[in-house]
Amino acid sequence: MNKCPECGSQNISYENYGEEICRECGLVVEENGIEQPFVSEATQSQATHPYLSIAGSKTQEGRIFKSSWMLSTREKNLRAGMSKIDEIASRLNLPKNIIKESRLIFKKSQYSNISIGRDNISLIYASIYMACNIHELPKTLTEITEYSEIRSKDLMKAYRLIKAELGLNTRPIDPLDLLPRFASKLDLSPKTITRVAEIIIQIKDTVVVSGKKPETILAGAIYIAGKQTGEKRTQRQIANTLGVIEITIRKISKEITFYVNYQ
């Protein structure tokens, strides 16, 4: 071929490694399949020839990507983390804005001191949980970590580290935001739902709820409201639905009842 199909130039260079390159636009006109030589990173950084500057890379959709053997540990962690975020988001059916935010938070965490000496998986789940909070998509820890081996304790530790290091502002999940979804799962009547909301509002910002998970508060409120309206749900039903253990429901319900009765 003596003419460039891209710009029409006939200024074609025949390189000794088996490629024909247009000197005008840089298009590789033809490859003869000869194996490309190995080029060290030091040589690549000082390369003046276009071929050497992309040695060990491959193009995808017009962009240049490094081959895996050229990636640093951080870059490998970042690539694996992005794939894991997409996998988790697909399982949780998360919207695109949450996925984008999760990927951004995780990327920032990788380029900060948070990632040093810590496992990637906790940072991945913490990034997703934080993205949900930022965009006010109420998700419990149990929902986020379901079908995974990560502990809620490890997720929250990574969550607090990311929040402090990156200076992100997030508000705690309001139990009222979780109420519609879990009330539907427990098939509660409007009367009971209203009573649950009244209890939560009454104990909001008090010592009763201080330091407790939103799903724990909601579980206790549902248990109490059910007994008051005659639409009782067992502790096991509530525990299985909200991911809270039964002994925790008994404890929080006693605290809520004591506070409500003596205020």
Please, which pLDDT band fits residue 29 given cuts at 50, 70 and 90?
Answer: low
H or E element: which one contains 29? strand 28-31
Tell me which of 1.10.472.10, 3.40.630.30, 3.40.640.10, 3.40.50.970 is the CATH number of domain 73-166.
Answer: 1.10.472.10
Domain ranges of the chain: 12-70, 73-166, 175-261
Closest CA to 188 of 238, 153, 154, 152: 238
Q: What is the pLDDT of residue 17?
A: 47
User: pLDDT grade, residue 139 (50/70/90)?
Assistant: confident
User: Do 78 and 94 meet the contact criterion of CB atoms below 8 Å apart?
Assistant: no
pLDDT of 243:
87
Bigger pLDDT: 172 or 57?
A: 172
Q: Are 230 and 192 in contact (CB under 8 A)?
A: no
The pLDDT assigned to 262 comes to: 66
Tell the CATH superfamily of the 175-261 domain: Cyclin-like (1.10.472.10)
Distance of CA 189 to the CA centre of its chain: 34
- pLDDT for 15 beyond 70: no
What values do phi and psi take at 245, rounded to 5? -75, 155
* C-alpha span between 186 and 235 (Å, rounded): 12
* pLDDT given at position 216: 92
Is the separation of the CB atoms in 215 and 142 below 8 Å? Answer: yes
What pLDDT digit, counting tens, does each position of 41-89 carry?
Answer: 554 455 444 444 444 454 444 555 555 556 677 788 888 889 999 999 9
pLDDT of residue 49: 45
Average pLDDT, the chain: 80
225 close to 199: Cβ distance less than 8 angstroms? yes
Q: What pTM value is reported for the model?
A: 0.65
Task: Give the SS3 label for residue 113.
Answer: helix
Of 22-26, 120-124, 144-148, the least confident: 22-26
Whether residue 178 is predicted with pLDDT greater than 70 in this model: the reply is yes
